[in-house]
Amino acid sequence: MAVAAEDHWSSRFAFLMAAVGFAVGLGNIWRFPYVTGENGGAAFVIVYLLCAFGIGVPILIAELMIGRRGQASPPEAVAVVAVESKRSRHWGWVGGMGVLTAYTIEIVYAVIVGWVLWYLFKAVTTGFAGVDAIDAGLQFEAVLASNYGMLFWTLVGLAVTGLIIYAGVQKGIERAVVVMMPLMFVLLVILATYNYFAGGFVEAVAWLFTPDFSKIGPDAVLAAIGQAFFSIGVAMGGMMIYGSYLPKSISISHSVFIIVIADTVVALLAGLVIFPAVFHYGLDPGAGPGLIFQTLPVAFAQMPGGHLFSVLFFIMLAVGGITSMVGLIESVNAWIEERFAISRHRSSLMVIGSIAVLSVMSILSYNVLGDISFGGKNFNDAMDYFSNQIMLPLSGLMIALFAGWVMSRDASRDELTSLKSVTYEVWHFMIRFVVPPALLVIFVRGVTS
């Protein structure tokens, strides 16, 4: 079933905002700056960009190309391209891996976005006034202990996401991202500018941008490869379904370059929003996910204008979370709509409803079901391991192998007409001989570490 005309992006800008919004998620906002600081600052950024353009760009080009060529949900798009290349339709399972990955990620991710929305509510109502480290820890423990509270805010996040997807590509996703993503950029700049005057900015810049090449060893390179792959948003079906909505007139290669640069700029700007407060108030820059929910509220309580700063910060995070959820769920929704020949409205209700039900397992894993294990891991850790350590690198590996070895050169060349002959040959070499070994290393490292 080919993509309908009304389900194509109306402009390159709309597509770019949707793609960048999907790539920039909550983990990217706090993790990229932290990993950068721990692995040599500007030296790591250089290595990351090399990895992003050497691994992330080729596979992102491949995913968008397959989606546009197939004009369908990821499984059907891959099958269509395989048949065109005189191969079996059964290759469609490669696209199915991305859909499954997106679905499993969303079950856990929706709950975390719910936390962000809950903390946005806390920021609006209290601004974390008078909160110290003990209070912040107790507040977060109370969040994890409140199943009804987590369920309510998870459902709020899913409802917002569902409404966007329910309305369609142009009337829903496009209208949302062309407002939300510029808003996110503006908020990032405002918050970073505020930090320039509030204190800790110099230390944060040194943390992020002082090159320390002595830290660039095998581990740092592997961290850069992994970050380049995971942060761009490939192998989750979202980029492939967004590619299926991409008009032929829009250059894939030029768009990919902008997406990768924008994703990197957003992540670094996020570092200039988060880490000045961390350094200025003597907090722990290595607090991981707890940095957002347990550490920063302490800074908000102490800084001048902290109430407003906290509200703007959690609005920015909420935008990043919602736009990522839209991309994750849209790939699943498109497949359900196509597979069962039902309307977008009905499929979106089915997908959102099933995620809402399964998210209860994720919520309960933070408390009453925390001791129930699957292979030594609770439900959330098992889902995270399955999606991030197994499915993502394997899905990316299979996309690279499909684009490089199964899809015909004529078909890929036809989709990448904006590339000069030499540049196309470089891409084709990378997707065949460089990307697969790199992703195999990520996979082996993930399952053995």
- CA-to-CA distance for 160 and 449, rounded, in angstroms? 37
HSE of 191, CA atoms in CB hemisphere, 13 A:
30
- CA-to-CA distance for 67 and 77, rounded, in angstroms? 6
DSSP state of 365: T
| 389, pLDDT greater than 60 | yes
Q: Which residue from 19, 38, 96 is spatially nearest to 324, judged by alpha carbons?
A: 19
Write the pLDDT tens digit of every residue in 230-257. Answer: 889 999 999 999 999 999 999 999 999 9
Per DSSP, the three-state class of 377 is: strand
Write the pLDDT tens digit of every residue in 275-297. Answer: 998 888 888 887 777 789 988 99
- CA-to-CA distance for 264 and 407, rounded, in angstroms? 30
Question: What is the model's pLDDT at position 147?
Answer: 97
350, 222 Cβ separation under 8 angstroms: no
Task: Locate 214 and state its tokens.
Answer: 């002595």
Write the pLDDT tens digit of every residue in 439-449. Answer: 999 999 888 87
Write the pLDDT tens digit of every residue in 44-85. Answer: 999 999 999 999 999 999 999 999 999 999 999 999 999 999
| 30, pLDDT greater than 90 | no
- CA-to-CA distance for 430 and 415, rounded, in angstroms? 17
What domains are defined for the chain? 5-448 (1.20.1740.10)
CA 246 to the chain's CA centroid = 20
- CA-to-CA distance for 139 and 134, rounded, in angstroms? 9
Question: What is the model's pLDDT at position 37?
Answer: 85
Confidence band for 6, pLDDT divided at 50, 70 and 90: low
Question: What is the model's pLDDT at position 314?
Answer: 96
Question: What is the model's pLDDT at position 10?
Answer: 94
| 1, pLDDT greater than 70 | no
Residue labelled with tokens 């009453």: 368
Question: What is the model's pLDDT at position 2?
Answer: 64
Among the residue ranges 17-31, 305-319, 407-421, 425-439, the one predicted with the least confidence is 17-31
**Mean pLDDT calculated for residue range 187-209:** 92
Question: What is the model's pLDDT at position 225?
Answer: 87
- CA-to-CA distance for 60 and 259, rounded, in angstroms? 10
Q: How many CB atoms lie within 10 A of CB 351?
A: 25
414, 252 Cβ separation under 8 angstroms: no
- CA-to-CA distance for 23 and 238, rounded, in angstroms? 9
